[in-house]
Amino acid sequence: MILQFKNAYLEKLFEGKPVPGKPRFSSDVVIKFKKTVLRLKYADSLRELKAQKGLNFEALKGDWKGYFSVRVDYCYRLILTVDNDEGVRITEILTVHDLTNHYQ
């Protein structure tokens, strides 16, 4: 799977680079975020992601139609899109858009 980021803050957070200002997320959430992104990165296909029950991979509805979410922990969800690269081998491209508090 190819993984890319639309959100520069999350990309820096994932890479371990310093981020400006007050931290938006606790260190516990950041660790879980990094683990979740690695699970996405090393998955072979969407079918494998859907089979991992802990991720709770699902399509979103309403204003977020066309987006998907995966569970980072009980409160936080990672919002992403899925595109296909029609090269030599069909490869899914996951684009990380946001990390949101699901119950806020």
What's the CA gap between 42 and 73, in Å, rounded?
19
Dihedral sign, Cα of residue 18, residue 20, residue 22, residue 30? negative
pLDDT of residue 84: 75
Which amino acid makes up residue 23?
P
pLDDT of residue 86: 59
Instruction: Please classify residue 19 by burial: count the beta carbons closer than 10 Å to its beta carbon, then call 0-12 exposed, 13-18 middle and 19+ buried.
Output: middle
User: Could you tell me the pLDDT band of residue 91, with boundaries at 50, 70 and 90?
Assistant: low
Question: Which fold is adopted by the domain 2-17+27-101?
Answer: YaeB-like fold (3.30.2310)
Query: Looking at per-residue confidence, does 53 or 32 come out higher?
Result: 32
pTM metric for this prediction: 0.87
pLDDT of residue 103: 66
Per DSSP, the residues of 4-41 read EES-HHHHHHHHT---SSS-SS-HHHHHHHHHHHHHHH
Which stretch of 32-36, 59-63, 81-85 has the lowest confidence by average pLDDT?
A: 81-85
Residue 61 has pLDDT above 60, yes or no: yes
User: Could you tell me the pLDDT band of residue 102, with boundaries at 50, 70 and 90?
Assistant: confident
What's the CA gap between 11 and 6, in Å, rounded?
8
pLDDT of residue 72: 94
